[in-house]
Amino acid sequence: MRLISSRFAALAVAALAIASVGCKAQNAASSGTTIQDHALARSIEVMVRSQFSVPPDYDVTLGERTPSNLPGYDNLKVTLSHNGRTTSTSFLISKDNKTLARLETFDLAGMPTRHIPVDGRPIRGNPDAKVTVISFDDLECPFCAAMHRELFPDTMNRYGNLVRFIYKDDPLVEIHPWAMRAAIDANCIAAQNGKAYWSYVDYLHAHGDEVTGTEHNLQKSFATLDRIAHDQVKPFALDQAKLDACLAKQDETSIRTSMHEADALGVDGTPSLFIDGEHINGAVPEQQVWVVIDRALRSAGVTPPPMPASQQPAQPSPSGQ
């Protein structure tokens, strides 16, 4: 079973159920509808709720009925609302009011997963590699730690200079109390030295229990995170005064920006990998990650390395032996 930690679980269910491109706060939908036939409006609402598993505490609002480019059909906007947040999608309704349909178009040139901003992020591997593995990571998440152990060193050793790895921040603050602090401290380090950043990330993903502590005292966890950050000063010749100032400020701005980017991409838990735009959701066996990386390399005109002997299927023994 693949397990992930969820944020906004109910809202994500609704957004995914209607295959919306993204979920964001919008202006409140109109309380009325241009569908004057109340029986028809109710049939549409019941159909949407039943076919797309809309939770009962979500409001379903029908928007304006407008002409479409498809003969015999009109456009109908349907909006789902819950706790002040909304997400909308367009349906097609037949002129005779007997059929409700969906027709989607996709922008290949502007595909969000192919254009995730990574400027200024520490890079592990070859900066000029043709294939990029981006991971939305939570430094307190045990499943992220498991994925991290698969990426480093096994996956990195397998691909060498053919792939570069970049982490983005997505701390699940609702369930991981020290994840935000860890992300901020990591970024304070990254501002001075990329290798020091990876050293910090490596340590936290290997020693999460040390940070949590037996007492589960959040202030002690914060102190431990700061101490581990200070441990990077001497090995990587960091400016301690700058580091101290950054740690004291605890600026969440860049972390929140990364979290909003994750939401816009439909990320609902961590770890969440994007390999040249192809999404892997959750901690999966490294062989599955390699299949996707190999596919991306071939698309880039690069021959993937051979599968390690330990991962190759066993050959049958010769007859009689």
- pLDDT at residue 35, as a whole number: 77
Kind of pairing between the strands at 131-137 and 163-169: parallel
DSSP 112: G
Tell me the two tokens of residue 183.
């992300």
Q: Is the N-terminal amide bond of 142 cis, ω within 30° of 0?
A: no
Number of Cβ within a 10 Å radius of residue 184? 23
Q: What is the pLDDT along the chain (321 residues), one digit of tens a residue?
A: 233 343 333 333 434 333 333 222 333 333 334 677 888 998 999 999 988 888 888 999 999 899 999 999 999 999 999 888 888 989 999 999 999 998 777 788 888 999 999 999 999 999 999 999 999 999 999 999 999 999 999 999 999 999 999 999 999 999 999 999 999 999 999 999 999 999 999 999 999 999 999 999 999 999 999 999 999 999 999 999 999 999 999 999 999 999 999 999 999 999 999 999 999 999 999 999 999 999 999 999 999 999 877 666 445 445 444
Give the angle 298-269-194 at the CA atoms, nearest 5°. Answer: 65
Q: What is the pTM of this model?
A: 0.71
For 114, residues 6+ apart whose C-beta sits below 8 A from its C-beta are: 276, 277
- pLDDT at residue 217, as a whole number: 98
- pLDDT at residue 183, as a whole number: 98
**What does the alpha-carbon distance between residue 317 and residue 321 come to, in Å, rounded to a whole number?**
7
Pick the CATH number of 113-299 from 3.40.50.10860, 3.40.50.300, 3.40.30.10, 3.40.640.10: 3.40.30.10
Q: Is 41 within 8 Å of 35 (Cβ atoms)? A: yes
Provide the 3-class DSSP secondary structure of residue 167.
strand
Q: Is 63 within 8 Å of 29 (Cβ atoms)? A: yes
**For the chain, domain boundaries:** 9-101, 113-299
